[in-house]
A and B are shown apart, each in its own frame.
Chain A
Amino acid sequence: MTAAVRTRGLRKEFAMGWFRGRVLAVEALEMEVKPGEVFGLLGPNGSGKSTAMKMILGLLRPTSGEAEVCGYRAGTMAARRQIGFLPENPYFPNFLSGAELIRYYGKLSGMGGASLERRIRELLDLVRLGGEAGHRRLRTYSKGMLQRAGLAGALVGDPEILMLDEPTAGVDPAGSREIRDLILELKQRGKTVLFSSHLLEQVEDVADRVIILHRGQKLREGRLDELLTRKNEWEIKVEGLPENDRKEMRAWIEKRGARVVGEGAPRERLEDYFLRSLPEEKRR
């Protein structure tokens, strides 16, 4: 099966100007994203995530190595037809309305006429910008609304692959949850999602596989459950066991040469608690 995205020995150096040398942004990146997969590019700021994405999009030319999108060389028209892109910050022409933004991107993707207008309505409903909101200028949108408008713009050409650069950065927990839900919905529809993030706890909920980058180099790669599972530990969650029985259970464990490494009442994640505290209409 052709990989959705494949890179081989991808490397990017930036010239810093006359007599100031060069800086290495990405070094020998090998990566393969399978169709239908949600793939995370993780790493701190300056680790090369956005540079790698830009090379896959054809916005930056690799110093060496190559990238392919659905079997097409990155940057070619055929490759770009397969991709929808949401940039890190809402870099959109803010003199347009939400609907006009999607229409503009639709036309750039070669669409037009009644089918484009139908698609605009569908997408505005999908990202919950239908009605009056879709006809307001982008400069009046909140960050979350801008990200959703951008997501609709990325989806307008019905691309096979969606590339999201830090999609939840600067978005509040409710907006962040919405974007995650949308990613999962797109996965359900068979789309491939490649996204970058430095917010690791958010990646955990959606990514099938991840790559961890640091200073342009790949540190780790794999399925999240493989990377995060501590194979020599076992965890049981118990409800309604009195203290005496717990003591007895600890003794039973120690008698068999094992050691209790952690114990306690499970804690809810702050994000879940925060969302649960909001009134129903604010959660969505």
Chain B
Amino acid sequence: MRGCFRRILAVAQNTFLEAVRQKVFAVLLIFALVLLGGASYFAEFSFQEQFKFLKDLSYAAISLTGLLVGLLGAAQLIPGEIERRTILTALCRPLRRWEFIAGKFLGLAGLLAGMVGIMALTVWGLLGWKGLQLMGGEGADSAAIWSEAMDPRLIQAGLLIGVKLVVVAAIAVFFSTVATSTTFVIAMTLMVYLIGHLQSVAREQWLETGEAAHGVVRLFLAAVSFLVPDFNLYNLIDEIVAGNMVAWHSTLGVVGYSVVYVIILLAASAVVFEGRDI
């Protein structure tokens, strides 16, 4: 068992190292610069509006940057290794194929967690800096400004963005075990991502139409309801950023749902990849 963990960790470390050495973290710098630029505008609004704008912009930027890195990273993971044929020298070793998949996924998940973590800390730092600026103004309500700037609910939002990206990465890993083309993996993952935002509509249709709907339609709706993760669940992020209260148990519920989906997707990836000729 120790050997198994050691091998998975070796693949994960290597995946993470590859991303770092290919300057993925340079994206973070661009992100920080965009934020700093954005933060200097809209100074004529009230402090609540300024914070809301800053949080909206920041979390949208974290989601988008993370989605791009996760999607491109995951799509490259296996097709990229097959294309460069570096996979041959890894899989000819006493390494099980599922261990390879798990290591690759963990490396990417680590990268996404690191990126989201650093970006979220940058946002916090920026909010703090903005808060201090506003507190220095004439007649400022320092306590209200500071509580708005250092809102602990942003940790919940960061966590939800992280798990959402990890689910997207797991979907891309699944498609990368069946495909040889990076473009196919990205297209399929984006398709599932978009359908995932409509999943709740499909589920409601399936539950409501009952026997009235055509057999094929019912089957399609059922398949979408069961197979595609419901990405609307992550809309809690918008609630948090808008300043609404979201209970921790709801957040942890979404995290649990994501973990189950990731496990199912990785298990399916391992089964598919096991039978594949390299």
Contacts and interface: CB of A to CB of B under 8 A. Distances in A.
Contacts of A91: 84-86, 88-89
B7 A92 contact: no
Contacts of A109: 93-94
A54 interface: yes
Contact of A87 (B11, B21, B22, B89): B89
A95 B21 contact: yes
A107 B10 contact: yes
B96 A77 contact: yes
A108 B17 contact: no
Contacts of B91: 58-59
Interface in B82-121: 84-86, 88-96
B6 A112 contact: yes
A85 to B, nearest CB: 4
> How many of chain B's residues touch chain A, expressed as a range?
20 to 34
B257 to A, nearest CB: 33
Interface in B1-58: 3, 6-7, 9-11, 14, 17-18, 21-22
A5 B50 CA distance: 71
B93 A157 contact: yes
Contact of A95 (B6, B22, B89): B22
Interface string A136-154: 0000000000000010010
Contacts of B84: 91
Contacts of A58: 91-92
A86 to B, nearest CB: 8
B191 interface: no
Contacts of B17: 95-96
Nearest to B22: A95
Contacts of B86: 91-93
B278 interface: yes
B139 interface: no
B151 to A, nearest CB: 39
B96 to A, nearest CB: 7
A108 B89 CA distance: 10
B215 interface: no
Nearest to B95: A108
A214 B250 CA distance: 65
A56 to B, nearest CB: 10
A104 B18 CA distance: 12
Interface in A66-119: 77, 80-81, 83, 85, 87, 89, 91-93, 95-96, 104-105, 107-110, 112
Interface in B198-251: none
Contacts of B278: 54, 59-60
A61 interface: yes
Contacts of B6: 107, 110, 112
A57 interface: yes
Given A87-B89, A89-B85, A108 B18 contact: no
Q: In this complex, which of B85, B86, B92 has the most chain A Cβ atoms within 10 angstroms of its Cβ? A: B92
Nearest to B19: A95
Nearest to A150: B89
B89 A92 contact: yes
Contact of A107 (B7, B85, B96): B7
Contacts of A104: 10, 14
B275 interface: yes
Contacts of A80: 92-95
Contacts of B275: 61
Contacts of B10: 104, 107-108
B277 interface: yes
Interface in A28-82: 54, 57-61, 77, 80-81
Contacts of A96: 14, 17
Nearest to A156: B93
B132 to A, nearest CB: 41
Given A108-B7, A108-B10, A153 B89 contact: yes
Contacts of A153: 89
B277 A108 contact: no
Contacts of B18: 93, 95
Nearest to A61: B277
Contacts of A61: 275, 277
A105 B7 CA distance: 9
Contacts of A95: 17-18, 21-22
B88 A87 contact: yes
Given A14-B277, A87-B85, 15 more contacts: A54-B88, A58-B91, A60-B278, A61-B275, A80-B92, A89-B85, A92-B89, A93-B14, A93-B18, A95-B21, A104-B10, A105-B89, A108-B7, A108-B90, A110-B7
Q: Which 7 A-B pairs have the closest CB atoms?
A: A107-B10, A91-B85, A85-B92, A108-B93, A95-B21, A59-B278, A110-B3
23 contacts: A58-B91, A58-B92, A59-B88, A59-B91, A59-B277, A60-B278, A61-B275, A80-B92, A80-B94, A87-B89, A89-B85, A91-B88, A92-B89, A93-B18, A93-B86, A95-B22, A107-B7, A107-B9, A107-B10, A108-B90, A108-B95, A150-B89, A157-B93
